[in-house]
Amino acid sequence: MAPPEETSIGFPEIRVPALWTFIALIAGLLVGLLLRGSAAETSVLAVARPLGSLWLRALQMTILPLVAALLFTGVVQTVAAAQAGALARRTLGLFALVLTSSTVFAALVVPPLLGAFPIPVEATAALGGMTRADPGAVPGLAEVIASLVPVNIVDAAAKDAMLPVIVFFTLFALAATRLPPAQRDPLAGLFAAVAAAMMVVIGWVLKLAPLGVFALGFAVAAQSGSAVIAALAHYIGLVSAIGAVVLAAGYVLAVAGARLSLGAFARAMIPVQTVAFSTQSSLASLPAMLAACRTLGVSQARADFVLPLAVALFRATGPAMNLAVAIYVAWLTGTPITTASMAAGVGVALLTTLGSVSLPGTISFVTAIGPIALAMGVPIEPLALLVAVEMLPDLMRTLGNVTMDVAVTATVDRRGR
């Protein structure tokens, strides 16, 4: 059976001004620092704060419908892939093992890292102060379990109770896979169309990212000074480090699982990583990954099946780095994390990776991390500023993803001989 398409959703071309957004952040921070304490500060803040808030709200409104649509489509694709035979089931099993291991690793390692290398106190005040409301008490294990089955799914969605919403749509998608094609296909088409339409909306919102990020950057710098720069540098370093571990794990898997020479694998990955670095897209790197598999002696038939499946469903760095961002924001805003809320974050990170898309991380940053943060009771306001620097951690995301894609493909091929 042929592998499923990279995605059943016909995404329109979305151009995100990532570089201009980053430049706008720097400009906003510099202007905020220059005007801090001046007579003009109050007047400019009166415009910048509501402008930044409006842009943030525009991002937030896309989270629920896009996550629901992508999750439904991702579950349907995964079930369809699992029915494609033993090769598909082995592949999906290895995907699940890598994703679960990396996500649990992030949950166990990020808090101690933040303890050993704490966020600067001034930086905490700089970015942590962006949250507009007290996140409230973090629920315990009993409350988290009880919330998995909401009395009213519409009410749960209205209250941003993301965990029960995700559970509901996961079950809904699984139920849809049991329907006959005449009923299942129109339903899948509806959710695919919703996801595509929401991606258009996100494209519109992100075109205004330079303006929104400039306003947010100005407001934060005017209030907290240069501490915000330290916060962003600290954030980039920590989150990228988690991605670097996943990248290194790809080499370990290639040697231990696929029995490849470390030198041969590293040499074969250089062209792939070059394309990934320049495009920040796993999908754009697919031809280079196929060529690397041929260089490594991987069966062409297996590579032609596994790699498109990996690009469609497998984001090796996604759950781990997304959870790391949510944990970072929790520490930034002083939100306590219990065992129950961490477990909820791990679960949501794993589930929502089924609906992730092979596009630059800037596009899906808030919609990927927002559900995790909401499930953990973490405010999502700081994400609007962190998205401006996502182009830097996203380089590590893409490098880790393509490296692990090839390592998994070579391992599946080795185990299938």
pLDDT digits (tens, 9 = 90+) for 78-97: 787 777 678 888 888 899 99
d(CA 284, CA 401): 12
pLDDT score, position 417: 63
- Kindly state the tokens that stand for 20: 């201009």
What's the N-to-C CA distance of the chain in angstroms?
19
Q: What is the pLDDT of residue 391?
A: 80
Domain 18-415 listed as CATH 1.10.3860: yes
377: left (phi over 0), alpha (psi -120 to 50) or beta: left
Report pLDDT for 2: 38
Euclidean distance between CA atoms 366 and 362, whole angstroms: 8
pLDDT of res. 357: 57
Calpha distance 310→360 (Å, rounded): 16
Percent share of the chain, pLDDT over 90: 26
| In the predicted structure, residue 255 carries a pLDDT above the cut 50 | yes
Closest CA relative to residue 25, chosen from 211, 208, 248: 211
Domain regions of the chain by residue span: 18-415
The tally of CA atoms less than 13 A away on the side-chain side of residue 386 is 32
Element at 258 (helix H, strand E): none
Q: Is the pLDDT of residue 137 over 70?
A: no
**pLDDT confidence of residue 385:** 81
* Burial profile 28-61: b = 16 or more Cβ within 10 angstroms, e = fewer: bbebbbebeeeeebeebbeebbebbbebbebbbe
Average pLDDT, the chain: 82
**Cα(380)–Cα(371) distance, integer angstroms:** 9
Confidence of residue 227 (pLDDT cuts 50, 70, 90): confident
